[in-house]
């Protein structure tokens, strides 16, 4: 008994020494985990080499009309005010009537001769760099599920956003700014923060929202500056916090959630200088500011370029709060106003990216969550103003376009029928669009997965085919 007690006391001493050197089994495991820990936003290599490294998503929330922008339909002029062949009440969300001709003129642009509406004359100057997809398809004619599908690859279920998947797969080049930034003036778009959620992915991958109606950096990014402490004092404060976190870590072992929180404090500190510079467009030369034009849209699209220039991985630009392109009434007036707010800036963005040598590594997506009907929407109390000059939602066929990194420009892919109602030639589902974009970024969409609840999830769920003809 005495012998065993003496040996036991010796073992206690040995355990203390091993513990101090992190050589006990549990401590060794924690030390190994801590040694292997990496910043979740550290740059990572994709599955295979690719041109595209960044994404700018220009989101025309509400559903711009494809037959009034990038998909001309002469038959609508022929049947204007008359029933379309095959019936006048197309199966959409609301009841529609006769054919409605586009009030806008179309013109051929570039060597490719692609027709574009007068609404996007500045964008059309770069049509030879743009791949227009005229055969897009969603799943339902409602905003919320279609926004979920376009942003997160799922109409109903809670899933991570495209930007979250990309930062999870690639990290980001600038550790002083969030990897995924979302801009929307005056408030949230329809479906709010679910558009840029990380869902079951770690929270570090969710989008960072910025209200671009403000011009002052302090209002653009809440709490970006400390009004009471200097940078030096904040550094001392964070260093003290780090020491406390280290003590907590030594007592409890490695904790990924704690590491993520530590990283968030560090990022918040570093952002104070970097974000102030990135969001201040007044630092741009006069000729650049004039090229983009005036207004909120011009400013936030210019900010998108400045963010990509500084290594931000995914930048999403919503046109405005709610669903501004949802033209159930006064389509001509509203579409002309909305396009006028962004067309010049979009053209300037493409030219600016080329000037800076960033176009080939920046993938641009333009479009909404669905399109609109070729027929006029009929009056219905509580649904519209009863003016009979707008279009209903249309998920059966609509248009979006891609440009930049990895995309073969100067082409039209797919088509809708002769009225513009349904995708007819080479339909492209939103899952196919996501698979193609991921391929341009260097990812096999079937292999970019995250295990959750016993299953490997991905952006495209169990669907999606890469449209190789869109790729350069």
252-291 pLDDT, tens digit per residue, is 776 766 766 676 676 666 777 678 889 999 999 999 999 9
List Cα–Cα distances, 34 to 22, 29, 262, 355, in angstroms.
12, 9, 13, 43
- CB of 53 closer than 8 Å to CB of 358: no
Q: Compute the distance between CA of residue 149 and CA of residue 143 in angstroms, rounded to an integer.
A: 10
pLDDT of residue 194: 95
Question: Where exactly are the structural domains of the chain?
Answer: 52-222+285-470
Residue 314 has φ and ψ, to the nearest 5°, of -135, 120
- CB of 470 closer than 8 Å to CB of 402: yes
Length in residues, the chain: 472
Compute the radius of gyration of the chain from its Cα atoms. Answer: 26
Among the four given CATH numbers 3.40.720, 3.90.930, 3.90.1720, 1.10.20, the one describing domain 52-222+285-470: 3.40.720
Condensed to tens digits (0 to 9), the pLDDT of residues 44-58 reads 999 999 999 999 999
Instruction: Tell me which residues of the chain have a pLDDT lower than 50.
Output: 7-26, 28-36
Residue with tokens 């109903």: 156
pLDDT of residue 400: 98
pLDDT of residue 22: 46
Sequence-separated (6 or more) residues with CB below 8 Å from residue 345: 292, 293, 297, 298, 301, 302
Q: Compute the distance between CA of residue 304 and CA of residue 366 in angstroms, rounded to an integer.
A: 14
pLDDT of residue 18: 46
- In our burial notation (b when 16+ CB lie closer than 10 A, e otherwise), range 333-348 reads ebbbebbebbbbbbbb
pLDDT of residue 396: 96
pLDDT of residue 267: 67
pLDDT of residue 25: 47
Condensed to tens digits (0 to 9), the pLDDT of residues 338-395 reads 999 999 999 999 999 999 999 999 999 999 999 999 999 999 888 888 899 999 999 9
Q: Compute the distance between CA of residue 295 and CA of residue 120 in angstroms, rounded to an integer.
A: 17
- Give the pTM: 0.87
Residue with tokens 């959409």: 92
pLDDT of residue 181: 96
Q: Compute the distance between CA of residue 463 and CA of residue 401 in angstroms, rounded to an integer.
A: 21
DSSP H or E segment with residue 19: helix 2-20
Please classify residue 357 by burial: count the beta carbons closer than 10 Å to its beta carbon, then call 0-12 exposed, 13-18 middle and 19+ buried. Answer: exposed
pLDDT of residue 166: 98
């Amino acid at each position: 008994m005495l012998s065993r007690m003496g040996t036991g006391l010796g073992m206690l001493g040995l355990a203390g020494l091993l513990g101090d050197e992190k050589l006990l089994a549990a401590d060794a495991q924690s030390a190994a985990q801590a040694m292997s820990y990496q910043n979740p936003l550290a740059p990572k290599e994709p599955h295979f080499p690719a041109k595209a490294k960044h994404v700018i998503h220009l989101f025309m929330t509400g559903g711009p009309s494809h037959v009034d922008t990038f998909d001309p339909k002469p038959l609508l002029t022929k049947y204007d005010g008359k029933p379309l062949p095959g019936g006048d009440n197309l199966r959409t969300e609301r009841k529609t009537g006769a054919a409605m001709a586009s009030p806008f003129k179309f013109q051929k642009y570039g060597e490719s001769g692609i027709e574009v509406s007068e609404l996007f004359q500045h964008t059309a100057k770069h049509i030879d760099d743009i791949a227009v997809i005229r055969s897009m398809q969603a799943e339902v004619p409602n905003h919320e599920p279609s926004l979920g599908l376009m942003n997160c690859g799922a109409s109903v279920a809670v899933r991570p956003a495209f930007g979250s998947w990309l930062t999870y797969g690639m990290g980001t080049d600038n550790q002083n700014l969030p990897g995924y930034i979302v801009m929307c003036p005056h408030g949230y778009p329809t479906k709010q923060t679910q558009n840029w959620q990380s869902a079951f992915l770690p929270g570090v991958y969710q989008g960072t929202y910025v209200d671009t109606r403000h011009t002052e950096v302090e209002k653009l990014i809440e709490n970006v500056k400390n009004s009471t402490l200097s940078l030096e004092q904040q550094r001392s404060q964070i260093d003290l916090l780090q020491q406390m976190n280290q003590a907590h870590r030594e007592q409890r072992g490695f904790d990924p959630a704690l590491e993520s929180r530590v990283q968030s404090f560090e990022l918040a500190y570093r952002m104070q200088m970097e974000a102030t510079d990135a969001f201040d467009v007044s630092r741009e030369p006069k000729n650049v500011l004039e090229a983009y034009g005036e207004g909120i849209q011009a400013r936030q699209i210019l900010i998108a370029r400045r963010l990509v220039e500084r290594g931000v991985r995914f930048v999403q630009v919503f046109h405005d709060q709610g669903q501004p392109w949802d033209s159930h009434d006064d389509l001509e007036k509203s579409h002309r106003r909305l396009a006028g707010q962004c067309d010049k800036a979009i053209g300037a963005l493409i030219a600016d990216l080329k000037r800076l040598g960033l176009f080939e590594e920046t993938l641009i997506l333009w479009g909404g969550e669905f399109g609109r009907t070729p027929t006029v929407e009929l009056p219905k109390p509580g649904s519209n103003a009863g003016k009979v000059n707008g279009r209903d939602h249309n998920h059966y066929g609509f248009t979006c376009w891609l440009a930049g990194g990895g995309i073969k420009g100067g082409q039209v892919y797919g088509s809708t029928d002769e009225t513009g109602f349904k995708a007819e030639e080479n339909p492209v589902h939103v899952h196919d669009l996501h698979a193609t974009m991921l391929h341009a970024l260097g990812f096999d969409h079937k292999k970019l997965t995250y295990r959750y609840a016993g299953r490997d999830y991905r952006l495209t769920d169990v669907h999606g085919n890469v449209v190789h003809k869109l790729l350069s």
